[in-house]
Amino acid sequence: MKIIKELIPYVFIIVIVVLIRTFIVTPVIVSGSSMDPTLKNGNILILNKLAKTYNRDDIVVIDVKVNGKRERIVKRIIGLPGETVKYDNHILYIDGKRTHDDFRMKTRDYDLSEYTEYDKIPEGYYFVLGDNRTNSLDSRDYKVGLIKKSQILGKPIFRIWPLNKIGTI
């Protein structure tokens, strides 16, 4: 009986940690170079799973199926529901207006209507890109396409690795 009483606090702590990790925050590891220069391969982030509203330029973690395999990818929201997205001559246009794109680099021309059945992003969907526009599996690829809101697992809020880059994102 004494052993059970001694174990109760440890069991309680384990249950609390599992609940927090399942429903509130969890660590995520950045895999690949698609978010360079903002995030690097191997960065460890804390993901806020409670975030349910998303805006342009938010970094999000997404659950996608690529080649039959489920993956978590980290991308930046570029296009919101009801908007048009177009890349022309390496310039990003949202609803026909040139936008300021901090990650402007050579990338193929892209028009949403050429790759999807939609002229505008449908309600409940988002258009996402990696910050490394030339090396990113994102909404421009038919394997990923537009992202459903239900695929977004949350927003990374804090980088915990590497230690010299620790802080908010």
Rounded Cα gap, residues 71 and 58, in angstroms: 19
Catalytic site residue from 2, 5, 33, 34: 34
33 is catalytic: no
Indicate if 31 belongs to the active site.
no
Give the CA distances from residue 125 to residues 30, 61, 118, 151, in Å, rounded to whole numbers and listed in that order: 23, 14, 11, 9
Catalytic member of 40, 65, 69, 75: 75
Q: Which positions are catalytic?
A: 34, 75
